[in-house]
Amino acid sequence: MTLVAFSNFIDGAFDTPKTTFESIDPSTGAPWATMPAATEADVDRAVEAAHRTLHSAAWASLTATARGKLLVRLGDLVVANAGRLAELETRDTGKIIRETRAQIAYVGDYYRYYGGLADKHEGSHLPIDKADMDVTIRREPIGVVAAVVPWNSQLFLSAVKLGPALAAGCTVVLKASEDGPAPLLAFAELVHEAGFPAGSVNILTGFGHDCGRRLTSHPLVSRVAFTGGPSTARAIVRNTAENLAYTTLELGGKSPVVVFSDADLDSAANAVVAGIFAASGQSCVAGSRLLVERSIKAEFLDRLKHKAEAIRIGDPQDPATEMGPLATPRQREWIEKIVAESLASGGTLVTGGKRPDDHPHGFYYAPTIIDAEDPALPCVREELFGPVLSVLTFDTEAEALALANDTPFGLASGVFTTNLAKAHRMARDIHAGVVWVNTYRAVSPLVPFGGYGQSGLGREGGFDAIRDYTRSKSVWIRISDEPIPDPFVMR
């Protein structure tokens, strides 16, 4: 079998990589492609190209409106090529085709949104307290951006970084995860086709110990935008001590979904299933902790059990498949370890908890529900990044809130109730960057997202994201015709 070969995209050209590694199809466990392993020298070339382009006439002389048109064109190309990009993402990550097609088609709206905002973020004029002065605040691009994304939802997670960065006038070096980088390396073709100047967007992949470390510590990088796990984030923060780059971190979560007895249980059950089993649970906002009111627990768990066991597991390229494999074998091993520890420590298995018998190849794991009355169980505390739902019970609203906030994470949350006052109280008091009420996993380019605590620093998405890719410059202009007084003459 001939493996498909991919290349890094540096300074407007696709390189022939000096070193490569094999990418594995998670549905079969077999290699299907070779990926470039970017070296420190490759990173240097990409960052230097981005820095050179930042100050070049080809990029710096573009008006904000012209940059916006490039972004709109890129969004149109993403939509036109969503099918091909989706097939690559499904092949390289195992995420089912029905999800990748829908999500990538929506990614085009993010580029269009930031394309429209490119010429609408403004500086300001200050009513200064000095009559002989006129002061304005300019917003200028912060510089070269290092954007680092994981394999899951990578085109979406790239768009919320590339969109505002390019709209603000920055140039970018985007590092795709070494796990499943195919769709982003193919996306580089669309960047080129859209007409972005060479060097304004560079896309590569490689390993953290050389490629990632060099990129996030590079002296020409002024801004780091990272999505991934807390341990990698800590390494990046240490790296940025070298260049003092402004850094935002969108990390993981252990998101609670609170279901009160007055909720629409059919709707809540569907949302819970979608929140934890969509993308095989490999989502930073996965609703992995279910908090259910005791009076409805038995009924609600029975609904979830039947829904989980009815999920169609299979080939992720088959549109009929409802859940595919995990992306890597190490992820499955981590889940198996935590589930085993949780059951040994008192958790009760409701369903799943094993590899599906009818899928011996690939990295499959069955939809799993654990009744975890003890909030100290590993499955409750640890982010598993897989299709495992931990169930806790509460009796009062105060207890539900305490359980929801009993985590070092704080990315997302869900509340299901028909009591409007209760919904407002919970939304106010839950410590999370996103609170969904009577829904889950809704996103929009207009809405910022980000976390509390171990779920990260800063926000992505929405109008204000552009400002995070700019820095202010204060311009003082003396408007008096009178000469400046001699400072050494006493008056």
Residues classed as catalytic? 250
Compute the distance between CA of residue 423 and CA of residue 417 in angstroms, rounded to an integer: 7
Determine the longest span between alpha carbons in the chain, in angstroms: 93
DSSP state of 210: I
Q: Are 326 and 386 in contact (CB under 8 A)?
A: yes
Question: Alpha-carbon distance 68 to 353, whole Å?
Answer: 48
C-alpha span between 149 and 397 (Å, rounded)? 37
Amino acid at 35: M
Q: How many CB atoms lie within 10 A of CB 175?
A: 26
Do 34 and 20 contact (CB within 8 A), yes or no?
Answer: yes
How many angstroms separate the CA atoms of 310 and 312, rounded? 6
CB 359 within 8 A of CB 408: no
- Read off the tokens for 472: 């202010």
What's the chain's Rg over C-alpha atoms? 25
Beta strands in 216-308 (DSSP E): 221-227, 246-250, 256-259, 289-293
Task: Report yes or no: 334 and 328 within 8 Å, Cβ to Cβ.
Answer: no
Nearest-angstrom CA–CA distance, 283 and 411: 11
Partners of residue 202 on adjacent β-strands: 173
